[in-house]
């Protein structure tokens, strides 16, 4: 995918819902650059795939690590190609499977922001995702998970799991970062699908 302005290059996605969600997630980062504030700190994208938010964060100046399941080499290759196409050789790519206590996870430095676009699509994975996030919260209790997702079922809820894992979440109104539109950044995304953004953090920390 290429935006009409041609600023970023992306592979045609096998995951259109992911692109819809990530088209929205790169907006808050874009606003910071528009205000000429460099986006600083360390940012890890989980379930990266085409990795639009991570690529955007790296372009804005953050120290970014992209990750996808260590069991899905094809998806890790997609992360690699996104970095190549956007001339970002400094971005690290690691295999990180949700819920697995791997060497890669243990070795990660504390992160400031975790990026996740369209990872909450399979309820049976929700707890594994939060387990990984919880582990990263132990390294930095102030870390926030910025998540965008396409609403697929009104029955799905994270509430009980957030309570269990001592986390809280805040919904971010789309209008607060000019994302309440069908055509973001001159693209055809997210279209008419309902996409939302939430920020998850440690319950004892104040957002």
Task: Work out whether 48 is an interface residue with ligand SAM (CB under 6 A).
Answer: yes
Which lies closer to ligand SAM via its Cβ, residue 48 or residue 143? 48
Characterize the bridge pairing of strands 144-150 and 92-95. Answer: unpaired
Q: Which of 27, 44, 55, 75 binds ligand SAM (CB under 6 A)?
A: 75
Neighbours of 106 (CB within 10 A): 9
Which lies closer to ligand SAM via its Cβ, residue 14 or residue 141? 14
Q: Which of 32, 56, 57, 98 binds ligand SAM (CB under 6 A)?
A: 98
Task: Work out whether 68 is an interface residue with ligand SAM (CB under 6 A).
Answer: yes
- Three-state SS sequence of 112-157: CEEEEECCCCCHHHHHHHHHHHHHHHHHCCCCEEEEEEECCCCCCC
Characterize the bridge pairing of strands 144-150 and 42-45. Answer: unpaired
Cβ atoms 110, 141 nearer than 8 A: no
Q: Which of 18, 28, 30, 190 binds ligand SAM (CB under 6 A)?
A: 18
Q: Which residue ranges make up the site for ligand SAM (CB under 6 A)?
A: 13, 15, 17-19, 21-22, 47-50, 68-69, 72, 75, 97-98, 117-119, 121, 125
């Amino acid at each position: 995918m290429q935006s009409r302005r041609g600023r970023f290059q992306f592979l045609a996605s096998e995951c259109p819902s992911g692109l819809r969600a990530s088209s929205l997630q790169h907006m808050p980062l874009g606003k910071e650059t528009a205000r000429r504030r460099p986006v600083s700190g360390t940012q890890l994208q989980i379930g990266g795939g085409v990795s639009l938010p991570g690529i955007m964060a790296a372009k804005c100046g953050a120290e970014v690590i992209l990750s996808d399941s260590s069991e899905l080499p094809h998806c890790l290759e997609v992360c690699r190609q996104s970095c190549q196409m956007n001339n970002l050789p400094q971005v690290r790519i690691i295999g990180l499977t949700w819920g697995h206590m791997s060497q890669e996870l243990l070795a990660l430095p504390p992160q400031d922001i975790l990026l996740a676009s369209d990872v909450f699509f399979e309820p049976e994975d929700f707890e594994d995702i939060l387990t990984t996030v919880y582990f990263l919260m132990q390294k930095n209790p102030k870390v926030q998970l910025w998540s965008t997702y396409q609403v697929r079922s009104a029955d799905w809820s994270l509430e009980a799991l957030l309570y269990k894992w001592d986390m809280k979440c805040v919904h971010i109104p789309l209008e607060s970062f000019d994302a309440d539109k069908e055509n973001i950044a001159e693209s055809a995304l997210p279209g008419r699908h309902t996409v939302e953004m939430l920020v998850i953090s440690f319950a004892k920390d104040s957002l």
